Structure 1
Amino acid sequence: MLELLLLVTAIGAGFLGALLGLGGGIIIVPVLTLVYHVDIRYAIAASLISIVATSSGAAASYLKDSLTNLRLAVFLEVGTVSGAIVGFLLASYIKAQFLFLLFGVFLLFSALMMLRRRGDHISQHNHSWANSMRLDGEFPDGKGNIVAYKVEHVPLGLFAMFGAGVLSALLGIGSGIFKVLAMDGAMKLPMKVSSATSNFMIGVTASASAGAYLLRGDVRPEIAAPVAVGIIIGSTVGARVMMKMSPGLIRKIFVVVLAIVSVQMIMKGLA
């Protein structure tokens, strides 16, 4: 009975996560801990397993559309995977109360970032590292044109990816919002390229973290299996429904939901 409830809940989490491109992990971890009283470390491990599954399908689609900067993604994964390993090691020494607080703060930050409107960046200047490693690229704009772009502030982006990897391992999220913010804001990549490249990286980062949690015995099949299947189903449906719904209305409703859940997570951590 519990597995069926987890499956239905995960479908809803995957559906809502897909509407805003944040994935289901940011929703399923609070639900598992607050509603079903699952240990937060088991919830994080289950979330990471589901992230690997959902990211793989979307990454293949973006690669086919030539939106992913594969060379840049592989380079930045040095930072994210290193951060994921450090995050896993830190998780062994961090109390569950602090994880609740950290997750609550992350949810509040995500809600604020959803309210922030960003224009697209097309940089015309390469960082020296981008020149030497040929990290710049081009992408189709959907109108039959090919748009070339450069990559700025590569060391800053690499450092930001390390932080995103730490958060991914600690909280069981893809930390895609930090990856997109780093590539869009610091490295001045176009938004479509940032989102597609981030999605490719999320799966690799989560794989490193999930493998570590698996070795430690935190992956419980009775929790991880229905959560992974549910989020895949929900994400698939959510991606299709998103095209027919008003993004402004979805964003406003979801910001309210995130704010409420974040306050509950922070209160649980303080208690």
Structure 2
Amino acid sequence: MYSILLLVISVFGGFLGALLGLGGGVIVVSALTLFFGVDIRYAIAASLISIIATSSGAAASFLKDHLTNLRLAVLLEVGTVFGAIAGFFISSYIQSKWLFFLFGGFLLFSAISMLKKKGDSRAEVNHPWSEKLNLGGKFNNEVGELVHYHVANVPLGLFVMFFAGIFSALLGIGSGIFKVMAMDGAMKIPMKISSATSNFMIGVTATASAGAYLMKGDIRPEIACPVSLGIIIGSFVGARVMPKMPADKIRKIFVVVLVAVAIQMVMKGFKA
């Protein structure tokens, strides 16, 4: 019964993860710690494995729909991988209750930032680095219109991605929230491109962290296996639904998920 319930929650987490570019870690970590009483470090380790599964399940569909910006993803991964390695070393010196507070505070900050924003940001011109590396692109929106977009503030995006990698290792969320915010806000890339590109990137970031947690013995197969299976199923469905949804709806779902989970995690921190 335990495994079946965990599987169902993971399917839901994978669906939201693919839809929003979060990796499903937000749902998985919260469910494991709040409902199943799993130690947050084991939950983070299982979440990192599930994030790799989410990325694998959604990436193929998004690539087929030309929503993933591969050039941009490869560039930004330089910052996230170094951040993930730094986050692993930092995690050994932080108590569990502070991880809850950090997780909750980060999510609340993200929700407020996203709530203030209306519609897609669109860069009017490419940053010089974007121009040289040909980072701009095009995609078909939900009504089939061809949309061209530019990429702004590339150095700022790389800087933010370093901290996204740190959050990935500390919180086991794949740092998808941070990545979507960076691309959507700082780099002014359309929400759908940000979500799809984040889905592609989180697998690489999580892999860098998961190997370290495996060496520490924090990955429990009885937790990671049903979670990964559910995440793969959910992410496949979410990747099919996302291209057909308006960007504003995706943003609203994003904010609701963040606020609900943030409140729960802060409360858990007080009880720890």
User: TM-score surpassing 0.5?
Assistant: yes
Corresponding position of 1:51:
51
Kindly state the Cα deviation for residue 175 of structure 1 after the two structures are TM-superposed.
2.0
Q: Partners of 1:143 and 1:236 in 2: how far apart? A: 22
Corresponding position: 1:230 with 2:233: no
| 254-263 or 165-174, larger mean C-alpha shift | 254-263
Q: CA deviation at 1:92?
A: 1.3
User: Take 1:158 and 1:95, find their aligned partners in 2: how far apart are those partners?
Assistant: 28
Larger Rg: 1
Q: Secondary structure at the match of 1:204?
A: helix
Shift of the 138–178 alpha-carbon distance from structure 1 to 2, 3 Å rule, reads same
Cα distance between partner residues in 2 of 1:37 and 1:54:
23
Relative to structure 1, is the Cα distance of residues 126 and 240 closer, same or farther in structure 2, using a 3 angstrom cutoff? closer
- 1:85: Cα distance to partner? 0.7
**1:132 matched residue in structure 2:** 132
Aligned partner letter, 1:5: L
Counterparts of 2:246 and 2:65, CA distance in 1: 24
Any stretches of 5+ residues in structure 1 without a counterpart? none
Instruction: Please identify, of 134-143 and 48-57, the stretch whose mean Cα deviation from structure 2 is larger.
Output: 134-143
1:216 aligned to 2:216? yes
Does structure 1 conserve the Cα–Cα contact (< 8 Å) formed by 2:29 and 2:40? Answer: yes
Cα offset, 1:255, TM superposition: 5.5
| Equivalent AA in structure 1 for residue 112 of structure 2 | L
The TM-score, its normalising length taken from structure 2, stands at 0.85
Instruction: Say if 2:79 and 2:159, in contact at 8 Å, map to a contact too.
Output: yes
The aligned residue for residue 92 of structure 1 is: 92
Q: Matches of 1:16 and 1:161 in 2, distance apart?
A: 21
Measured after TM superposition, the shift of residue 114 of structure 1 is 5.3
- State the distance in 1 between where 2:123 and 2:238 align: 32
1:195 is aligned to 2:195: yes
Distance (whole Å) between structure 2 residues aligned to residue 149 and residue 217 of structure 1 = 44
2:170 aligned counterpart, secondary structure:
helix
Deviation for aligned residue 1:217: 1.2
Alpha-carbon contact 2:125-2:152 (below 8 Å) kept: yes
Equivalent AA in structure 1 for residue 123 of structure 2:
S
Between the aligned partners of 1:243 and 1:72, the Cα distance in structure 2 is 19
Which residue of structure 1 aligns with residue 40 of structure 2?
40
Runs of 5+ unmatched residues, structure 2: none
Q: How much has 1:178 moved relative to structure 2?
A: 1.6
Is the CA contact (8 Å cut-off) linking 2:142 and 2:244 kept in structure 1?
no
Amino acid at match of 2:36: Y
Q: RMSD over aligned Cα, in angstroms?
A: 3.0
Query: In structure 2, do the counterparts of structure 1 residues 55 and 119 end up closer, same or farther at CA, with 3 Å as the change threshold?
Result: same
| Mean Cα deviation higher: 190-199 or 35-44 | 190-199
1:59-108 deviation digits (Å, cap 9, x = unpaired): 11121222222111111100011111111111111111111111111332
**How many equivalent residue pairs?**
271
Distance 1:112 1:87, change over 3 A: same
Alignment of 1:107-126 (within 5 A): 107-113=107-113, 115-126=115-126
* Identity of matched residues, %: 69
